[in-house]
C-alpha cells in the first residue's frame, strides 16, 4: 500500500491521500457496499470527521468549515433533491477544485495579425499524399540560453509520401526529409523533448530517429507489427536524468514501451555511410483486439493511456507496461475510438470515435460525465485549448467544432470546403499555443489564427441584461446579451465562474433565480427558457413554446403545492411551465385574454403579487394594469385568464409637463373620480371575472380609453406602464409610467388607489427635468424605493407613508440622490452583508458596481480589477472604469421605452433601460428587445441563427470557409426602426415616435 500511496492515483485533486479518500467514499456506501445518497447533515458530518481527527481545531474553525460545507452541498445539489451521491460529489470537485483561470474571462476579441501571416503560403504547403501526423515544436534548434522561441518554433509533418517536412509558422518550408529513402508510408512522428530528437514511425516496420538538425541517427526495428502511433514521456521508475520512454502502438493491438538513455544515441556509422541498427528490445503487451489509434502519457495520473478501434480505452502503468491494478478497460463508446485528450485544468478525459460523439469521462470513476453530440460523421481527433477553456473536435466530413468545457456547449462550427487530393478529408490537427493557432492537415496544412483575448476593466463586453444578488452564496450573478453569465464574489469583486453563449447565437433577454436561488433561469429572443446550475455552467433543462416569441420577463411562482416558471413573451401571452424534472418542458398554461378587453398594446412588465396564490400582474404600453390567476382558468378552455383590467382615468396635471396649459384639450367625458376598475363591480373581493361585465369607455381611439387618448394626442406623452414593483407588506403594486408619475394599485381590492408625485421636499415637487426612470427596486421591508435614472443617478424615496388607504396629497419624498454611473442605470438591488448596507447597480456602460448607501464606490466587478476586501476600507476603489470604446451606437437601447412617447416632448426619455421588476425574490431582470412599431404588428419575429457561429475564436481563412451573419442583430433593429419612421412619417404628417 505504501508504494501505491506514492503513485499519482494516491493523490487526487481534492488534496486527500488515497486512504482518506477511500474512507470518505465509504460514507457514501451502505454496509453491503451499495451506493447511498447523503443529505446535507450527513454530508457535513462525513467531511467534518476528517477535521475533527486533527488536533488543535478550534470551535471557530469548526463553525467556519460547517458553513462552507453546507454551501458546497447546495452548489452540488443545484437540482434541490436535498441529497448528493458520490459520483455527483467527485464530478463537481474534479471540475471546480482546480480553480477557474482568472486570466481568462469576458474580454475583447481582437484579430491576431501575426498569426494571420500564416495564410500566405497555405496553398503551396503540403505533401504529395495525405499527412498522417503533425507535431508542434516550440524550441526546435534552440540551444541553452540562445535563440528565441519565435524563430525556433516549427511544425513537423509526416505523410504517406514517405517524407517528413519541417515548416516555419508562416508555412514556408524549412526542410524536407526522405525517410529511409523508400516509398513507405509514415504513420506518426513524435518530438522527444529531453534528448531533442525526432522519432518517426514507418510502415517499413521501423522507427527512425533524427537529431535537432534532422540528421538521421539510428533506427529501431519493430517487426512484430506495423507501428501506427507514438507516445513519449521523460519519466522513468529509476529516476535517472538520462531516461526517456517511447511508446509504440501497432496494428495488432499491442503497445511496446522502449526505455531510452544517452547510450542509445551513440552513432556508429558503417563503411557505406548508413546508420547502424539498434537491437533495442522493449516490453510488448497486447491491450486491444484491433488497431491502436493513439497512445500517450498523462503526467498528472502517471499513466499511459491507449485507445483502439475495438472501442476500449486503457489506463496503464508505463513502467511495468501493465494495466493499472483494479482498473478495467473503459468501454463507453459503442464503436471504435480514434482519439482522446486530457484536460489538466479540470481533470477529465475527452474521447471521440466512430459513434460520432465526444464523451467526457471521469478517470477516477471511469464513468461518463457528459456526451457532446453534433457531429454527423466519425470524430477523428480531439484536443484541448486550456487557455480559453475549449475542447476542439474534428470529424471525417471536414467539420471542426469548438466546445466550451465550462458548460459543454458548442460555441463555433466551421466546415472546410476545399477539395483535397488524393482524398477529400482532414486527417489530423494540432494546437499551437504560442501562435495561437489551430493547425489542420490533409494533403495540405491549414492554419486558423486564434483571436487574442484582451483584458478589460468592464464587467461585460455587451449590454448587460441584469445583475442579481444571491444571498445564499454571497455572490453577484450578471449576464449580458451575448449570453455570458458571470459569477462574482461580493467580498473581493473577483470572478469565481463564467460560462458563455447561454442561448447560442440568440440574444439573452432576461434572467431570474429559482426559488432556492441555487439555479438560474435565462430567457432568449428565440423563445426558449433555460435552467442552469450557475455554479458549474451545467444546463439542467429547457422550457419551450409551440410558436416561439421573444421572452420579455421571467419569474418563479407558486400556487399551493405547485411551483411554476412564468415567462412574459412579446406575443402578449404569459407562459406558465411546471417546475418539472424533465429535460424538455412544455407550457402547462398559457394566460391570455380572448374577450378583446385585455391589453390593447404591448405588455411591458410582469410581477408576482403573491408567493402562494399564483396571482400575477402585468403592465402595458396602453396604460392598463391586469391581474391574472395561474390555475383558475387556462387558455385551453376558451375562457379569459385575466381577472381584472385596471387603469387610471384621472387627468394628469397639465402644468407638470405642458408649458402652455391653455393649449391642452380636455375631451368631453373626462372622469373626475379617482379610479375605475373594468370588471364586475358587484363581485365580492376576489379574482372572479365575468366577460359580460367588462366595459370600456365610449369614444375610444385605437383601443385606448377616451381619457388616455386625449392625453396622448395633445401632450405627446402616454401613461404606458414601464416599471412595476410589488410592495408585499403594503399589499400594493407600485407602477412607474411614461408620463413620469408613479401610481399605486391595491392587490386586495383590485382597484386604483392614486397617483404619486416625486417630491423633493414635503411641499415641493421634483423639478421637471429629472431624467427618466430606467430601473426600480424596493427593499424587503418596503421602507425605501430606489430608482435608477437615464443620467446615471440613483434616488432613494421614502415609502413609509404609502398605505392601502392613500391620502390624495401623498407623494414619494426624496431621501437622497447619488450619482453611481455616467450612463443609464439598468439594474438596481439593495441588500445588507456582514453589517454593511450596499447597492449593486448595472449600467449602460457595461459595468456592474458596488456602492455604499452614501454613494461611496467600493469597486467595479471586472476581470482586470482592481479588487477589494469588503471589510478593509483602504482597498476600496472609488474611481469609475475608464472609457474603453463604449460607443453610444453599440448599445442599441431597446429598453422598455413606450413607443407612444415622443422624443421631443417634455419629459421624454433619452435612454433605454432594462426591466427591473422589484424586490420580490425570484423576479427577473431583463433588457427588453423593444422595437417601436405600429399597433398592427403584434410580435417581433424570431431571428434564426446563422448556419455557423459568429462568436468563435478562430479567424477567417481562404482555405477554411466559415459563415458569419451578414448583418448584426443591432443593425437589423436599426434598419427596422428607419423603415418604421419612414412609414409613420407619411401617415402622421411628420409626427412620429422616436428616441435618441
Summarize pLDDT for 448-490 with one digit per residue, the tens. Answer: 877 655 567 788 888 899 999 998 888 999 999 989 999 999 9
Q: Does 734 have pLDDT greater than 80?
A: yes
What span, in angstroms and rounded, lies between the C-alpha atoms of 124 and 448?
16
With both helix axes pointing from N to C terminus, report the angle between 40-52 and 18-26 in degrees, rounded to the nearest 10: 150
At 412, the pLDDT band (50, 70, 90 cuts) reads confident
Residue tagged 467526457 (cell numbers): 360
**More confident call, 222 vs 141:** 222
pLDDT of residue 553: 92
Residues 36 and 176 occupy one common structural domain: no
Where does a domain end: 926, 951, 982?
A: 926
Q: Which of 664, 511, 687 is nearest to 591 (CA)?
A: 687
- 876 with 841, same domain? yes
Distance CA 907, CA 769 (A): 7
The CA distance from 720 to 966, in Å, is 35
Percent of the chain with pLDDT over 70: 69
Radius of gyration of the chain from Cα atoms?
Answer: 33
Higher pLDDT, 395 or 121: 395
pLDDT at 312 over 50: yes
pLDDT of residue 272: 47
Q: In this predicted structure, which of 127-131, 253-257, 305-309, 680-684 has the lowest mean pLDDT? A: 680-684
Instruction: Give strand pairing partners of 678.
Output: 645
Q: Has residue 819 got a pLDDT over 70?
A: yes
543 and 661 share a domain? yes
962 belongs to a structural domain: no
Asked if 548 and 606 sit in the same domain, the reply is: yes
* Nearest-angstrom CA–CA distance, 716 and 657: 10
The more confident residue out of 211 and 911 is 211
* Overall domain count for the chain: 3
Q: Assess if residue 310 is contained within a domain.
A: no
Quote the pLDDT of residue 979: 55
| Residue 253 Cα distances to 312, 321, 333, angstroms | 11, 14, 17
CB neighbour class for 781 (10 Å; exposed up to 12, middle 13-18, buried from 19):
exposed
Question: Dihedral, CA atoms, 547, 548, 554, 558, nearest 10 degrees?
Answer: 30
Nearest residue to 911 via CA among 977, 845, 848: 845
Residue 91 belongs to domain spanning: 2-96
Q: How far apart are CA 19 and CA 4, in angstroms?
A: 10
Instruction: Look at strands 758-759 and 399-404 and give their pairing.
Output: unpaired
In this prediction, residue 986 carries a pLDDT of 42
Q: What is the mean pLDDT of residues 73-83?
A: 77
Inform me whether the pLDDT recorded for 174 exceeds 60.
yes
Looking at residue 375, what is its pLDDT? 93
pLDDT in tens, 340-385: 999 988 889 999 999 999 999 999 888 999 999 999 999 999 999 9
Q: What's the pLDDT at 358?
A: 96
- Average pLDDT on 230-248 reads 76
Give the Cβ contact number of residue 48 at 10 Å.
15
CA gap 573, 594 in Å, rounded: 11
Give, in order, the Cα–Cα distances in Å from 573 to each of 448, 545, 570, 628: 46, 11, 7, 11
Which spans in 912-960 are helix H? Answer: none
The answer to whether residue 830 scores a pLDDT higher than 60 is: yes
Of 372, 484, 392, the closest CA to residue 433 belongs to: 392
For the domain that residue 886 is a member of, what is the CATH number? 2.130.10.10
Residue 57 within any structural domain of the chain: yes
Whole-angstrom Cα distance, residue 960 to residue 972?
27
Residues 8 and 150 in one domain: no
Instruction: Confirm whether 353 is domain-assigned.
Output: no
The reply to whether the predicted model has a pTM over 0.85 is no
Burial class (CB in 10 A: 0-12, 13-18, 19+), 270: exposed
Which run of H or of E encompasses 776? strand 773-778
As a whole number of angstroms, the distance between CA 788 and CA 785 comes to 10
Q: Does residue 963 lie within any of the structural domains?
A: no
| pLDDT in the model for residue 37 | 87
Peptide bond into 466 cis (omega under 30): no
Omega of the bond prior to 866 within 30 degrees of 0, cis?
A: yes
Is the pLDDT score of 103 beyond 70? no
- Is it the case that residue 633 has pLDDT exceeding 60? no
Do residue 119 and residue 84 come from a single domain? no
Residues 6+ apart with CB under 8 A from 181: none
* Nearest-angstrom CA–CA distance, 51 and 45: 10
Kindly state whether residues 45 and 121 are assigned to the same domain: no
Could you tell me which of 395, 339, 422 has the C-alpha nearest to residue 159? Answer: 422
| Cell numbers representing residue 76 in the block | 452540488
Residues contacting 548, CB < 8 A, separation 6+: 526, 527, 528, 942
Q: What is the pLDDT of residue 252?
A: 93
Give the residue from 572, 589, 568 showing the smallest Cα distance to 634: 589
Say what the pLDDT of residue 871 is: 86
Mean residue pLDDT of the chain comes to 74
Q: Which of 416-420, 701-705, 854-858 has the highest mean pLDDT?
A: 854-858
pLDDT beyond 60 at 145? no
Instruction: Say if residues 750 and 646 touch (Cβ distance below 8 Å).
Output: yes
**Which has the closest alpha carbon to 905: 621, 712, 775?**
712
pLDDT for the residue 879: 79
Question: What number of helices (H) and strands (E) belong to the chain?
Answer: 10, 63
Q: Please tell me whether residues 836 and 734 are part of one structural domain.
A: yes
- Residue scoring higher pLDDT (803 or 563): 563
Within a domain: residue 387?
no
What number of residues does the chain have? 996
Q: Is the confidence at residue 60, as pLDDT, over 70?
A: yes
Please answer whether residues 110 and 450 qualify as being in contact, where contact means their C-beta atoms are separated by less than 8 angstroms: no
Contacts of 114 (CB under 8 A, 6+ apart): none
Residue where one domain finishes, among candidates 50, 74, 96: 96
On whether both 918 and 793 belong to a single domain, the answer is yes
Residue 539's DSSP bridge partners are 532
What is the tens place of the pLDDT at every residue in 24-45? 788 888 877 788 888 888 888 8
Which grid coordinates are listed for 46?
462525513
Tell me the C-alpha distance between 154 and 968, whole Å: 38
Count of CB atoms within 10 A of residue 714's CB? 15
First CA to last CA distance, the chain: 74
- Statement: residue 967 has pLDDT above 50: no
- Give the torsion sign (CA, 94, 96, 97, 102): positive
pLDDT in tens, 904-917: 333 333 333 334 44
737 lies in a domain?
yes
Cβ contact 84:37 at 8 Å: yes
Q: Do residues 833 and 791 share a domain?
A: yes
Domain CATH for 71: 1.10.238
Above pLDDT 90, what percent of the chain? 27
Query: Domain check: are 77 and 147 in the same one?
Result: no
- Tens of pLDDT, residues 921-959: 344 554 433 333 333 333 344 434 333 333 445 544 333
Q: Read off the C-alpha cell for 569.
A: 413573451
Which residues, in sequence order, are bridge partners of residue 352?
A: 339, 358
The predicted model gives 297-326 an average pLDDT of 91
Residue 834, pLDDT score: 81
In a domain, 875, yes or no: yes
Q: What is the pLDDT of residues 846-898, one digit of tens each?
A: 899 999 988 889 999 988 888 899 888 889 887 777 665 554 444 444 343 33
pLDDT of residue 285: 93
Consecutive H or E run containing 803? none
Q: What is the pLDDT of residue 557?
A: 87
Same domain membership, residue 550 and residue 469: yes
| Position with higher pLDDT, 431 vs 63 | 431
Domain end call among 65, 96, 127:
96
Amino acid at each position: 500500500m505504501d508504494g501505491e500511496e506514492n503513485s499519482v492515483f494516491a493523490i487526487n485533486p481534492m488534496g486527500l491521500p488515497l486512504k482518506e479518500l477511500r474512507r470518505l467514499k465509504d460514507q457514501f456506501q451502505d454496509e453491503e457496499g451499495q451506493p447511498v445518497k447523503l443529505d446535507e447533515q450527513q454530508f457535513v458530518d462525513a467531511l467534518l470527521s476528517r477535521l475533527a481527527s486533527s488536533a488543535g481545531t478550534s470551535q471557530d474553525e469548526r463553525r467556519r468549515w460547517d458553513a462552507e460545507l453546507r454551501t458546497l452541498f447546495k452548489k452540488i445539489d443545484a437540482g434541490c433533491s436535498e441529497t448528493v451521491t458520490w459520483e455527483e460529489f467527485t464530478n463537481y470537485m474534479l471540475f471546480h477544485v482546480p480553480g477557474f483561470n482568472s486570466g481568462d474571462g469576458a474580454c475583447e476579441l481582437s484579430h491576431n495579425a501575426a498569426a494571420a501571416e500564416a495564410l500566405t503560403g497555405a496553398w503551396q504547403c503540403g505533401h504529395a499524399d495525405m499527412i498522417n501526423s503533425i507535431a508542434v515544436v516550440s524550441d526546435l534548434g534552440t540551444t541553452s540560453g540562445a535563440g528565441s522561441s519565435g524563430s525556433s518554433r516549427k511544425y513537423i509533418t509526416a505523410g504517406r509520401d514517405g517524407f517528413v517536412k519541417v515548416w516555419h509558422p508562416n508555412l514556408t518550408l524549412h526542410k524536407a526529409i526522405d525517410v529511409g529513402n523508400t516509398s513507405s508510408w509514415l504513420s506518426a512522428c513524435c518530438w522527444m523533448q529531453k534528448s531533442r530528437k525526432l522519432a518517426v514511425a514507418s510502415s517499413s516496420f521501423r522507427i527512425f530517429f533524427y537529431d535537432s538538425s534532422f540528421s538521421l541517427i539510428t533506427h529501431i526495428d519493430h517487426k512484430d507489427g506495423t507501428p501506427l502511433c507514438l507516445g513519449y514521456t521523460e519519466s522513468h521508475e529509476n529516476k535517472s536524468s538520462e531516461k526517456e520512454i517511447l511508446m509504440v502502438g501497432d496494428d495488432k493491438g499491442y503497445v511496446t514501451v522502449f526505455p531510452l538513455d544517452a547510450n542509445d544515441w551513440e552513432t556508429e556509422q558503417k563503411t557505406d555511410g548508413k546508420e547502424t541498427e539498434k537491437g533495442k528490445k522493449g516490453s510488448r503487451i497486447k491491450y486491444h483486439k484491433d488497431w491502436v489509434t493513439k497512445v500517450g502519457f498523462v503526467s498528472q495520473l502517471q499513466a499511459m493511456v491507449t485507445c483502439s478501434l475495438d472501442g476500449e480505452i486503457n489506463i496503464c502503468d508505463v513502467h511495468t507496461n501493465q494495466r493499472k491494478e483494479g482498473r478495467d478497460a473503459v468501454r463507453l463508446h459503442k464503436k471504435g475510438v480514434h482519439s482522446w485528450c486530457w484536460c489538466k485544468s479540470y481533470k477529465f478525459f475527452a474521447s471521440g470515435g466512430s459513434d460520432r460523439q465526444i464523451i467526457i469521462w471521469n478517470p477516477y470513476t471511469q464513468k461518463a460525465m457528459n456526451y457532446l453530440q453534433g457531429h454527423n460523421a466519425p470524430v477523428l481527433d480531439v484536443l484541448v485549448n486550456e487557455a480559453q477553456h475549449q475542447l476542439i473536435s474534428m470529424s471525417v466530413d471536414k467539420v471542426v467544432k469548438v466546445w466550451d468545457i465550462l458548460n459543454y456547449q458548442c460555441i463555433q462550427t466551421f466546415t472546410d470546403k476545399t477539395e483535397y487530393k488524393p482524398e477529400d478529408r482532414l486527417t489530423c490537427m494540432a494546437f499551437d499555443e504560442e501562435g495561437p493557432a489551430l493547425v489542420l492537415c490533409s494533403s495540405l496544412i491549414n492554419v486558423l489564427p486564434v483571436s487574442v483575448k484582451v483584458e478589460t476593466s468592464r464587467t461585460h463586453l455587451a449590454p448587460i441584461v441584469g445583475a442579481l444578488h444571491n444571498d445564499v452564496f454571497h455572490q453577484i450573478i450578471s449576464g449580458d446579451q451575448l449570453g455570458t453569465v458571470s459569477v462574482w464574489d461580493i467580498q473581493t469583486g473577483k470572478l469565481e465562474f463564467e460560462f458563455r453563449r447561454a442561448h447560442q447565437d440568440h440574444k439573452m433577454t432576461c434572467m431570474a433565480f429559482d426559488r432556492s436561488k441555487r439555479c438560474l433561469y435565462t430567457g432568449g429572443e428565440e423563445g426558449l427558457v433555460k435552467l442552469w446550475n450557475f455554479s458549474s455552467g451545467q444546463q439542467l433543462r429547457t422550457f419551450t413554446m409551440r410558436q416561439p416569441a421573444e421572452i420579455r420577463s421571467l419569474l418563479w411562482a407558486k400556487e399551493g403545492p405547485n411551483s411554476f416558471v412564468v415567462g412574459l413573451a412579446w406575443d402578449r401571452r404569459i407562459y406558465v411551465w411546471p417546475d418539472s424534472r424533465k429535460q424538455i418542458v412544455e407550457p402547462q398554461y398559457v394566460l391570455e385574454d380572448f374577450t378583446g378587453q385585455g391589453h390593447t398594446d404591448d405588455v411591458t412588465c410582469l410581477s408576482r403579487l403573491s408567493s402562494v396564490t399564483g396571482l400575477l400582474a402585468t403592465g402595458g404600453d396602453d396604460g392598463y394594469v391586469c391581474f391574472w390567476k395561474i390555475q383558475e382558468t387556462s387558455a385551453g378552455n376558451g375562457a379569459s385568464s385575466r381577472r381584472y383590467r385596471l387603469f387610471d382615468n384621472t387627468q394628469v396635471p397639465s402644468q407638470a409637463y405642458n408649458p402652455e396649459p391653455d393649449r391642452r384639450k380636455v375631451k368631453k367625458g373626462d372622469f373626475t373620480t379617482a379610479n375605475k376598475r373594468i370588471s364586475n363591480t358587484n363581485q365580492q373581493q376576489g379574482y372572479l371575472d365575468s366577460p359580460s361585465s367588462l366595459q370600456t369607455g365610449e369614444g375610444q381611439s385605437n383601443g385606448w380609453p377616451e381619457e388616455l387618448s386625449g392625453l396622448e394626442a395633445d401632450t405627446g406623452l402616454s401613461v404606458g406602464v414601464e416599471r412595476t414593483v410589488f410592495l408585499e407588506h403594503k399589499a400594493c403594486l407600485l407602477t412607474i409610467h411614461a408620463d413620469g408619475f408613479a401610481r399605486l394599485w391595491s392587490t386586495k381590492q383590485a382597484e386604483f388607489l392614486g397617483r404619486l408625485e416625486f417630491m423633493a421636499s414635503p411641499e415641493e415637487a421634483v423639478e421637471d427635468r429629472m431624467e427618466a426612470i430606467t430601473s426600480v427596486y424596493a427593499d424587503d421591508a418596503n421602507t425605501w424605493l430606489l430608482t435608477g435614472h437615464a443620467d446615471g443617478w440613483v434616488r432613494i424615496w421614502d415609502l413609509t407613508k404609502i398605505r392601502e388607504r392613500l391620502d390624495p396629497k401623498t407623494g414619494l419624498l426624496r431621501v437622497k440622490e447619488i450619482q453611481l454611473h455616467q450612463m443609464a442605470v439598468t439594474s438596481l438591488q439593495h441588500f445588507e452583508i456582514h453589517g454593511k448596507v450596499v447597492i449593486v447597480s448595472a449600467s449602460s456602460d457595461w459595468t456592474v458596481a458596488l456602492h455604499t448607501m452614501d454613494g461611496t464606490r467600493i469597486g467595479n466587478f471586472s476581470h482586470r480589477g482592481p479588487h477589494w476586501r469588503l471589510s478593509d476600507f483602504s482597498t476600496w476603489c472609488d474611481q469609475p472604469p475608464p472609457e474603453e470604446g463604449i460607443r453610444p451606437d453599440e448599445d442599441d437601447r431597446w429598453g422598455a421605452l413606450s413607443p407612444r412617447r415622443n422624443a421631443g416632448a417634455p419629459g421624454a426619455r433619452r435612454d433605454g433601460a432594462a426591466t427591473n421588476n422589484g424586490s420580490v425574490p425570484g423576479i427577473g431582470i431583463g433588457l427588453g428587445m423593444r422595437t417601436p412599431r405600429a399597433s398592427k404588428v403584434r410580435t417581433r419575429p424570431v431571428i434564426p441563427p446563422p448556419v455557423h457561429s459568429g462568436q468563435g475564436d478562430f479567424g477567417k481563412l481562404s482555405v477554411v470557409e466559415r459563415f458569419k451573419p451578414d448583418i448584426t442583430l443591432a443593425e437589423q433593429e436599426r434598419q427596422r426602426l428607419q423603415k418604421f419612421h419612414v412609414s409613420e412619417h407619411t401617415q402622421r404628417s411628420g409626427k412620429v415616435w422616436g428616441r435618441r
